[in-house]
Amino acid sequence: MKRALWSFAIAAGFAAAPLAVQAQDKVIRVGVVMPISGPASYFGVMGKEGIDLALDQLKAGVNGYRLQVQYEDSACSPLQATNTVKRLLDQFKPHIVIGEECSDATLAIAPILEQAKVVQLNAGSVTMKLTESGYKYVFRIFPNAEQQSNPLAAVAYNTLKARTAVILYEKTNAGNDNADGFEKPFVAMGGKVLARIDFGRDVNDFTAIATRIASLGKIDVLPTFGLEGQQVRLSQALAQARIVKGGGGSAVQMGSIWLPYGYDQKAGQSSEGYVRIVQFDPTEKRKVVQDFIAAFRAKYGADKVPTHINAHAFDAILLVAEAVRRGATDSESIRDRFSKMKDVEVTTGKITFDAKGQNSDLSVVHFVETQKDLSWKGMNWR
């Protein structure tokens, strides 16, 4: 009897094995390559928050598929990102990779994923090269440098009636492309760029730069492109030098989607009058945005307001789920579903990928101005 029971158990085990394998197979593997260490680690930390929240909401699975995520630290470095992606491809065999945030690292992994025919979904890099290099497996929901800077130039010239500008930008691929994206249309419209001033990510004191700017004469706008920590110090230095409105000057500091919500509180009074474009706006009334904020607060604390980094990462997972909902089962079909997506609504707007893989729908991108009480005021500028 004992032997018979054992035989039955073994036979049942063998019979159940294919079912177990099949159940395990119904998985979409998502590799996440983000800077969890290094100077841009806040991208990775916030990105993980957004992704974890999205995964909580997709626990039941999509179309019978479970989303399995593996996070890897790429430290914003091309070498680390390259190694990380190779490791993911070897060991995790992802159907899609989300990342990186820093443009240099993003550009380093793009050809590797292209060769492996694995989709790369980017939600944080602005460099033009990413979607201008002919990659077939690259998709980006984040507005590229031109999409961010061209509206800034148009608003500066047409709405704010600015005729002179000083462009301040970090010396990176992203900063360069943003600076170019502002300068070309602004100059073409008749504006004059008095100076282009770049700075490394290691610069902490912007007093010298602010002093130089103060000597350049009347400046109407100061488009600035940099990470939050440096932008806070830059705004404070510009205010101290009485250049920008926040310090009693007349120049309007302008910025891009780079800055997370909450920047104004960190920069304090110096950020008054700061004009910038935003893609994710926590004050937006769309249901998807308010639902996201409620879920975010429920998970991470009632006093927390999600940033665009949280939102972009959250949206990236929602997009993968949407592709699976539309029948995607592997990398090739995810690519196919992405390329056909049109007006898919997420917290950062609507997603429609163009032929190059760039999200072309900027309908929710809008301008905000920092008020005296450091709150945002949405501006009806286009």
Nearer to another protein, 131 or 164 (CB): 131
Residue 134 Cα distances to 5, 139, 195, 206, 341, angstroms = 61, 11, 33, 38, 19
Binding flag, residue 176, another protein (CB under 8 A): yes
Residue 295 Cα distances to 244, 283, 309, angstroms = 37, 15, 16
Among 6, 9, 12, 91, interactor with another protein by CB under 8 A: 91
Among 107, 209, 232, 365, interactor with another protein by CB under 8 A: 107
Q: How far is the CB of 161 from another protein (least distance, A)?
A: 33
Q: How far is the CB of 262 from another protein (least distance, A)?
A: 22
- Fill in the amino acid letter for 165: A
Helices (H), 157-227: 173-189, 207-214
| 3-state secondary structure at position 343 | coil
Phi, psi (rounded to 5 degrees) for 37: -120, 170
Question: Could you give the CA distance from residue 268 to residue 354 in angstroms, rounded to a whole number?
Answer: 39
Binding flag, residue 159, another protein (CB under 8 A): no
Q: How far is the CB of 295 from another protein (least distance, A)?
A: 23
Nearer to another protein, 136 or 340 (CB): 136
Question: Could you give the CA distance from residue 247 to residue 245 in angstroms, rounded to a whole number?
Answer: 5
Binding flag, residue 72, another protein (CB under 8 A): yes
Binding flag, residue 153, another protein (CB under 8 A): no
Residue 32 Cα distances to 56, 65, 82, 96, angstroms = 16, 18, 13, 9
**Do the beta carbons of residue 341 and residue 352 sit within 8 Å?**
yes
Residues 9 to 68: which contact another protein by CB under 8 A? 36-37
Among 32, 46, 67, 89, interactor with another protein by CB under 8 A: 89
Binding flag, residue 256, another protein (CB under 8 A): no
Q: How far is the CB of 195 from another protein (least distance, A)?
A: 16
Residue the block writes with tokens 């590229």: 144
Nearer to another protein, 46 or 156 (CB): 46
Nearer to another protein, 184 or 326 (CB): 184
| Binding span for another protein by CB under 8 A among 20-28, 55-63, 73-81, 211-219 | 73-81
Mutual angle of helices 331-340 and 308-325, in 10-degree steps: 110
Nearer to another protein, 112 or 189 (CB): 112
Q: How many CB atoms lie within 10 A of CB 300?
A: 15
| Binding span for another protein by CB under 8 A among 12-20, 101-109, 256-264, 281-289 | 101-109
Q: How far is the CB of 111 from another protein (least distance, A)?
A: 6
Binding flag, residue 208, another protein (CB under 8 A): no
Closest by Cα among 331, 275, 282 to 309: 282
Site for another protein, rule CB under 8 A: 36-37, 71-73, 77-79, 82-83, 86-87, 89-91, 104, 107-108, 111-112, 129, 171-173, 175-176, 200
